[in-house]
A and B are shown apart, each in its own frame.
Chain A
Amino acid sequence: MIALDVVWPRLIAIADEMASTLFRTAFSHDVIEVHDMSTGLYDDRGNLIAQTWLGATGHTGVMPVFGKNLVAAFPPETVHPGDVFICNDPWLCNGQTADVFVTTPAFVGDRLIGLSINSVHHVDIGGRKGSGLSEEVFEEGLILPPLRLYRAGEPNEDLFALIKRNVRFSEKMIGDVRAQMAAGWIGARGLERLAREFGLPTLRPVADEIFRRTEAGMRAGIGRLPDGTYRKSLAMEIAGVPEPQTIALTVTIRGEELIADFAGTAPQVRRPVNSPINYTRAYVAVPVKMVCDPEWPNNEGTYRPLTVRAPEGCLVNPTYPAACFWRLAAGMLVSELMFRILAEIAPDRVPADSGSMPTWQFYVNGTRRNGEAFALHQHAFGGMGGRPGLDGLASVSFPYNVRDVSVEWAELETPILFERRELIPDSGGAGRWRGGLGEELALRAFDDGRLDPTASIVLSGSAGRMQFAPAGLFGGRPGSFGRILVNDVPIAPTSSPEVTFRAGDVVRLLLPGGGGYGDPREREGALVDADLRHGYVTPDAARRNYGRE
């Protein structure tokens, strides 16, 4: 099938073109700067065939299941040219109301051949502004079940009006929805042109061959791991919940399949850190993919050898209407657990604990004197764990795969001044291969004369590792704790911080460093010298950890 070598990269290129279209037509920094999105092409059964290389991991890993959810809601016989669909239901989509999925069908003649789908994290979706205190999903904004945004080329004005009236910054939010429609249009036209050019009446044979090869690649990788059952758990700190809560994971490898079972995980909590199963599945898949099959592109076939089970109503499979806006607080720890288990199975391919799991994703919301709201949606990253043969990367979006908002953009759009953004010396766990350094952000709200002096400014989001530092591996030392300080006073450890402050106050976010890999006494002297030279390690710590006088 020589044509496949032409068609497959072409499909991925179309998905990449969809992503560029999103960046070029979007209105919010979430899309333009952060790339908190994904794009993909599907066959008419809702199977993901191809995806952009640029997407965020949650979106990326959820797209395969979303396609099937969309087809279940709108079977092919109900879909017509010019239709556009929208959905953000956390249990059908990406586990969070702010992630909105837009679907554009592709036709050859009257026949539905496939779907062009993209997802975007929106700057607002209504509700409590991503509060860290939400107890139910109803507080987290508008929930859109699968609905028609356009019917045969005509906008569903009722729905647009409903959305507009329920979100802040509606011009940005609707603008980004329209960017999603543009990306959907590019994808659907690309699919149609490709089908015409290669004379394909259906994409199914091409799709099935792509799935077969990808699945075979994954299965071969899993097959090379020894059979067995491995069990680990970790604890997460949740403000408002008295005791740390456990995420427990049992991984069974049997031949060429892998089963991840979360039996024993704590029940869902009345805080927005629960991770709906779609999101949990995405973060189970990422470490398996990295370890077993880093080469083949991502698609439906990637997920076929994986089975994910989790008790209903637990932290990693909460039931409606659990709060889940900051589901990455639990969801990304799922990846950490997977890495810990894989470290036992494939120690030469897995890093120590990463301070970058979970990402600290947060909003800073406030009000100006004229009543106008402002919002910064920002990401901050801890350090990656030390790797077999390499130090961990400093302050990196691993394995989340997004970027942060540039300081320039943030300061232009909001009265938040970045007093400091720097790597934290000694935050990376000592080891033969040192953990990556975490970063510190110091934010000050400054009164530019337009700030409402009576309204407080709220920082809310996800955090972690404030009570349980990223662990070292094979003798490596742990990375630093995460910390949040308001005017130098630390807040209590939590996974969903909600900090209120005023103009002049300084909020410092200290992101955790990664754990070290291997015994620090085995670290090469030249590497310690370089760390001292760069200021990554202080002379004190060099003496203490590496015996350097």
Chain B
Amino acid sequence: MHAYHLAAKLGVPEVIVPLRAGVLSALGLVTAPVAYDTVCTYRVPLVELDAHAIDAVFREMADDVTRTLRTADREGAVAFARAVDVGYLGQGYQVTIAVDGTETALGRDALRRRFADVYREKYGYFYDDVPVELVNLRLTGRLVESPILLAPLPASPSASASPKHERPAYSARERRLIPFAVYDRAELGPGVTIHGPAIVEEASATTVMDAGGELDVDAWGSLVIMVGGELRSR
């Protein structure tokens, strides 16, 4: 119900509302790929950092994670995401920086640049005169394939759908009541496009999309909503 406006407020450009997205739905839990997070303390000043050695530690961690996923009886390809915790020497906390799987991303200059960007964005300032240190290596391993595959729905014969009816509802963008087209979700097959303001009704959930939003129904029947840019706060 509030996903659209929450996303607009947080500056999130896209919202996906799967079928049967009621508050008691556990669909996301069972369809999410199995993943395993690890963190390894690796304390070294940035100026002494050896990208090759760190890459080797990451590879070891990847092997561990793969073994752990296999013990959970999971086969299939594993995708990895790397991150490092970096801070100024002497601080009590660090910032987490995502890095790609290459050794180049772990180079001193590359890390310093990324740290500067992240730190400045979070805290407004960045300084060159304080030593920077690496504290933790983080690795997440995720099975690429979902444990449960949902079957795609048959495509809708037409790209448009006709609303059940129309009723006035509050538009946060217009700051007043305006007419919203009301759709029955069961009627919205893959390939359908709807423009806001619209309300999509379903037994387990109601989706509200303000004026300026645009919605496509994907192959699985999920509503993929592009949030209207002028509503986003930044």
Q: Which residues of A are at the interface with B, using a C-beta cutoff of 8 A?
A: 21, 23-27, 29, 32-33, 171-172, 175, 178, 181-182, 185-186, 189, 193, 197
Write the B76-97 contact mask toward A (1 if CB under 8 angstroms, else 0).
0000000000001011110000
Cβ A23 vs Cβ B130 within 8 A: no
Cβ A27 vs Cβ B233 within 8 A: no
The 21 sampled A-B contact pairs (Cβ below 8 Å) are A24-B91, A24-B92, A24-B93, A25-B93, A25-B123, A26-B91, A26-B92, A27-B88, A27-B90, A29-B92, A175-B88, A175-B90, A175-B91, A175-B130, A178-B127, A181-B124, A181-B125, A182-B124, A185-B123, A186-B124, A189-B124
- Least CB distance, A350 to chain B, in whole angstroms: 37
Q: Is the interface of A mostly helix, strand, loop or mixed?
A: helix
Cβ B127 vs Cβ A27 within 8 A: no
- Least CB distance, A35 to chain B, in whole angstroms: 12
Residues on B with C-beta less than 8 A from A193 are 233-234
Cβ B125 vs Cβ A178 within 8 A: yes
Cβ A186 vs Cβ B123 within 8 A: yes
Cβ A197 vs Cβ B233 within 8 A: yes
Write the B2-28 contact mask toward A (1 if CB under 8 angstroms, else 0).
000000000000000000000000000
Q: Which residue of A lies closest to B123 (CB)?
A: A182
Residues on A with C-beta less than 8 A from B234 are 193
Cβ B91 vs Cβ A27 within 8 A: yes
Q: Which 6 pairs from chain A and chain B are nearest by CB?
A: A185-B124, A182-B123, A32-B92, A24-B93, A27-B90, A25-B123
Cβ A23 vs Cβ B91 within 8 A: no
Of the residues A171, A182, A186, A189, contact of B130 by C-beta under 8 Å? A171
Cβ B93 vs Cβ A23 within 8 A: yes
Cβ B92 vs Cβ A185 within 8 A: no
- Least CB distance, B10 to chain A, in whole angstroms: 12
Q: Which of B108-126 contact A (CB under 8 A)?
A: 123-125
Assembled-state Cα–Cα distance A17/B33 (Å): 33
Cβ B92 vs Cβ A21 within 8 A: no
Q: Is the interface of B mostly helix, strand, loop or mixed?
A: loop
- Least CB distance, A260 to chain B, in whole angstroms: 39
The listed residue with most B CB atoms (<10 A of its CB), out of A24, A26, A32, A185, is A24
Residues on A with C-beta less than 8 A from B123 are 21, 25, 182, 185-186
- Least CB distance, A19 to chain B, in whole angstroms: 13
- Least CB distance, A196 to chain B, in whole angstroms: 8
* A172-B90 contact, Cβ under 8 Å, with A193-B233, A197-B233: yes
- Least CB distance, B173 to chain A, in whole angstroms: 13
Of the residues A171, A185, A197, contact of B125 by C-beta under 8 Å? A185
Residues on A with C-beta less than 8 A from B125 are 178, 181-182, 185
Cβ A25 vs Cβ B90 within 8 A: no
Q: Which residue of A lies closest to B9 (CB)?
A: A197
- Least CB distance, B204 to chain A, in whole angstroms: 30
The listed residue with most A CB atoms (<10 A of its CB), out of B88, B123, B233, B234, is B123
Residues on B with C-beta less than 8 A from A185 are 123-125
Residues on A with C-beta less than 8 A from B90 are 27, 171-172, 175
Residues on A with C-beta less than 8 A from B130 are 171, 175
Residues on B with C-beta less than 8 A from A175 are 88, 90-91, 130
Residues on A with C-beta less than 8 A from B91 are 24-27, 175
Q: Which residue of A lies closest to B127 (CB)?
A: A178
Residues on B with C-beta less than 8 A from A24 are 91-93
The listed residue with most B CB atoms (<10 A of its CB), out of A25, A175, A185, A189, is A25
Residues on A with C-beta less than 8 A from B127 are 178
Assembled-state Cα–Cα distance A32/B127 (Å): 20
Residues on B with C-beta less than 8 A from A182 are 123-125
Q: Which of B220-234 contact A (CB under 8 A)?
A: 233-234
Q: Which residue of B lies closest to A25 (CB)?
A: B123
Assembled-state Cα–Cα distance A404/B234 (Å): 40
Assembled-state Cα–Cα distance A159/B125 (Å): 18
Assembled-state Cα–Cα distance A29/B92 (Å): 8
- Least CB distance, A373 to chain B, in whole angstroms: 15
- Least CB distance, B122 to chain A, in whole angstroms: 8
Residues on B with C-beta less than 8 A from A172 are 90
- Least CB distance, B19 to chain A, in whole angstroms: 33
Residues on A with C-beta less than 8 A from B124 are 181-182, 185-186, 189
- Least CB distance, B138 to chain A, in whole angstroms: 17
- Least CB distance, B170 to chain A, in whole angstroms: 14
Residues on B with C-beta less than 8 A from A21 are 123
Q: Which residue of A lies closest to B131 (CB)?
A: A171
Please give 14 more A-B residue pairs, beta carbons under 8 A apart, in addition to A178-B127, A185-B124, A185-B125.
A23-B92, A23-B93, A24-B91, A24-B93, A25-B93, A33-B92, A175-B91, A181-B124, A181-B125, A182-B123, A182-B124, A189-B124, A193-B233, A193-B234
Assembled-state Cα–Cα distance A178/B233 (Å): 28
Write the B30-46 contact mask toward A (1 if CB under 8 angstroms, else 0).
00000000000000000
Residues on A with C-beta less than 8 A from B233 are 193, 197
Residues on B with C-beta less than 8 A from A189 are 124
Assembled-state Cα–Cα distance A509/B92 (Å): 28
Q: Which residue of A lies closest to B95 (CB)?
A: A24
Q: Which residue of B lies closest to A29 (CB)?
A: B92
Residues on B with C-beta less than 8 A from A33 are 92
Assembled-state Cα–Cα distance A172/B88 (Å): 11
Assembled-state Cα–Cα distance A89/B136 (Å): 40
The listed residue with most A CB atoms (<10 A of its CB), out of B90, B93, B125, B233, is B125
Assembled-state Cα–Cα distance A33/B127 (Å): 24
Residues on B with C-beta less than 8 A from A29 are 92
Q: Which residue of A lies closest to B92 (CB)?
A: A32
Q: Which residue of A lies closest to B90 (CB)?
A: A27
Assembled-state Cα–Cα distance A185/B127 (Å): 15
- Least CB distance, A64 to chain B, in whole angstroms: 25
Assembled-state Cα–Cα distance A25/B90 (Å): 10
- Least CB distance, A502 to chain B, in whole angstroms: 28
Q: Which residue of B lies closest to A104 (CB)?
A: B124
Write the B198-229 contact mask toward A (1 if CB under 8 angstroms, else 0).
00000000000000000000000000000000
- Least CB distance, B117 to chain A, in whole angstroms: 15
- Least CB distance, B90 to chain A, in whole angstroms: 5
Q: Which residue of A lies closest to B234 (CB)?
A: A193
